[in-house]
Amino acid sequence: MTKNIDNNKLFIACCLALTVTSMTFAIRAGILGQLSQDFALSDMQLGWVNAMAFLGFPIATMFGGLLYNFIGAKKLVIIAFVGHILGLFLTMSADGFWTLLISSFCIGFANGAVEAGCNPLIAEMYHKNKTTMLNRFHVWFPGGIVIGALISKAMTDVGFGWQAQIAVMLLPTIAYGYLVLSQKFPDNKNVDTSTAHNVKALFSPLFMFMAFCMTLTATSELGTQQWIERILGASGASPMLIMAMITGVMAVGRFFAGPVVRKFNPAGVLLYSAIVTTIGIYSMSLATGSMVYVSALLFALGVTYFWPTMIGFIAENIPQSGALGMSMLGGAGMFAVSMWNPVIGSWIDQARQQALTVNNSPELAELAAGQATLANLSLFPLVLVFAFAGLVIYMRKTQQLREAALES
């Protein structure tokens, strides 16, 4: 093991681990049609398969956040590595609905362990620049989705089955596992390591408000993207190319997040994100053909800063919550997505059936189902517009009170 702590290698290891997390998300979205056909699954059953991946995440972040002060980041990321290896092999050998549920849960648990270990690790290593570096770390969520979406599309186009697409993810998994095992990790000097303080901070009104908002930001972003193949498949555009475009825009935006966050502050960035996301999702519910790409671009510009800015907001404004706060916030978002996934699947099933009663064309029914589902999803960021407008006002008043106290 190296004697010196190499922040750059640790950051690369974290980024690779997050890339695997996002590749599981993208490739699972790309193979939903194949899984439906091979195992005769309804969209609601596919929703439960998706839900297990998102449910495993908050369970891992909950326990990971509670244990972080005792076991540290390294052991959490090693747990993620083992979970990814196990989940990927179980998925490749799945023979039906129940084995897909179990394997998806394992992968979701590994994904949550990545967040539980890496977010506070990066806040520790870059404690003077938390929000900017967390945004740069989270570049690799959309970055990995771009990689996964393009791989899935290319492999599907040339006839590779879903098992081969899952197997591809073993390569970056092994790479980040090697880096984690070979590096020394820093001590927790710049993160509040009092679990009692951490837990107390979770019950502050501001944290609970942000946790509620996280359930909506995560569902707006991930609920829409996870179902993109099903809701845009009949729109006349390529769903996986749209996903690659969306996440490519997100990756670039997060890499250059520093100036944006400094200019508008985190609360202002979140309000902007909610407004543009609402416009983007609703316009997708009306668009067909090439206009879908324009609407998807708006959606991408909206959701780019949601997740990392929410985490950064907590790290900067409620530092007493420590690693537990960051983990629980991410867990709240993923838990919400897990609960909404079967609902989204049922929306698709119901809208399809209603469309078929009006018009017997399966293609038109799929288009109508996708558009109706997107219209429903646009309500999530619409609520956030009002919530984050209130947050902006609250943070301005808080800042004014602090400045007045310093002057007196």
Q: How far is residue 22's CA from residue 346's CA, in Å, rounded to a whole number?
A: 24
**2 assigned to some structural domain:** no
Residue 158: partners with Cβ closer than 8 Å, 6 or more residues away:
none
Kindly report the CATH number assigned to the domain that includes residue 14. Answer: 1.20.1250.20
**393 assigned to some structural domain:** yes
- Of the candidates 401, 133, 391, 382, which has an alpha carbon nearest to the alpha carbon of residue 268? 391
Within 10 angstroms of residue 6's Cβ, the number of other Cβ atoms is 14
- Domain count within the chain: 1
**1 assigned to some structural domain:** no
The pLDDT tens digits along the chain (408 residues) read: 345 778 888 999 999 999 999 898 888 877 877 888 888 888 888 888 888 888 888 899 888 888 888 888 899 999 999 999 999 999 999 888 898 999 999 999 999 999 889 988 888 888 777 777 887 888 888 888 888 888 888 888 888 888 999 999 999 999 999 999 988 888 766 555 677 888 888 999 999 999 999 999 999 998 888 788 778 878 888 887 888 888 889 888 888 877 877 778 889 999 999 999 999 999 999 998 889 999 999 999 999 999 889 988 998 899 888 878 888 898 899 889 888 988 998 999 899 999 898 877 888 888 898 899 999 999 999 999 999 999 999 999 998 888 887 776
**38 assigned to some structural domain:** yes
**115 assigned to some structural domain:** yes
- Of the candidates 16, 17, 24, 179, which has an alpha carbon nearest to the alpha carbon of residue 90? 24
User: Domain limits at 347?
Assistant: 7-183+193-407
pTM equals 0.77
**74 assigned to some structural domain:** yes
**295 assigned to some structural domain:** yes
pLDDT score of 286: 93
